Amino acid sequence: MKVDELKQAITDRTILVSIGHANSEIGTLQPLKEIGTLLKKHGILFHSDCVQTFGKIPIDVEELGLDSLSISSHKLYGPKGVGACYISPNVSWEACIPGTTHERGFRAGTVNVPAIAAFVTAAEDSIKEMENHTKHYWKLRDRLLVNLERNEQVIVEGRPLDGLPSIIGFRVRGIEGQYLMLELNRRGFAVSTGSACAAGKQSPSKTMLAIGRSPDEARGLIRVSLGIHTTLDDIDAFLLALEESLEKMNVTYRTV
């Protein structure tokens, strides 16, 4: 996001701004500190979806000027279906459903205690190992990017040198992402296209359209996610599978 565009979008009726910390398709990190400073000047509450970044990079709510953030367990190898929302003690709020008592009225329903306990453990482990995991991600990312960028048919999207290290988005000229994804899936690699399918028709990635790509280019997006158990051998095997997939689709693999 360009902060100048946010400035223009603010009106005297704006009370809350919610920004995703990292884009889940191409890994771009948003300038939360700069945004937080701007919003504080206008007295606007600031929330961030930090699902992708929590446990992977440092998050200081005071430094970033955040009034609230939301996180999820499954991104940290915890159980699915449980998450957490932080709200600054300086912010007053009321329950959406009056009369509820669970979680002080924040959310109705029986609390899933085992999942919450597992989430806490997963979060503690991730924070403790964050520095080591980050180094691991960058090592894997460097190996992948160096080889991807050797192929003049491959275009890496986003800001590969300063984005979230665990997410890489790329496309191959003239190839729809759905086809390449299926070929890689057959070879044992669970990548995604980063776009939604509706009524049997693949929609172009909104992220790609937002950064100026055409609908056809947007449909070419492939997202690769790295994990703590991913190895350099996995990266090499993926690159080989990619080359084989492109050859099958009659795409010449040419190095720069």
As a whole number of angstroms, the distance between CA 20 and CA 53 comes to 9
Amino acid making up residue 176: E
Decide if 96 is catalytic.
no
Least Cα distance to 178 among 97, 249, 109 occurs for 249
Q: Provide φ and ψ at 150, rounded to 5°.
A: -75, -20
Q: How many CA atoms lie within 13 A of 183 on its CB side?
A: 20
Out of 50, 85, 96, 197, which one is annotated catalytic? 197
DSSP 201-250: EEPPPHHHHHTT--HHHHTT-EEEE--TT--HHHHHHHHHHHHHHHHHTT
Annotated active-site positions, please? 197
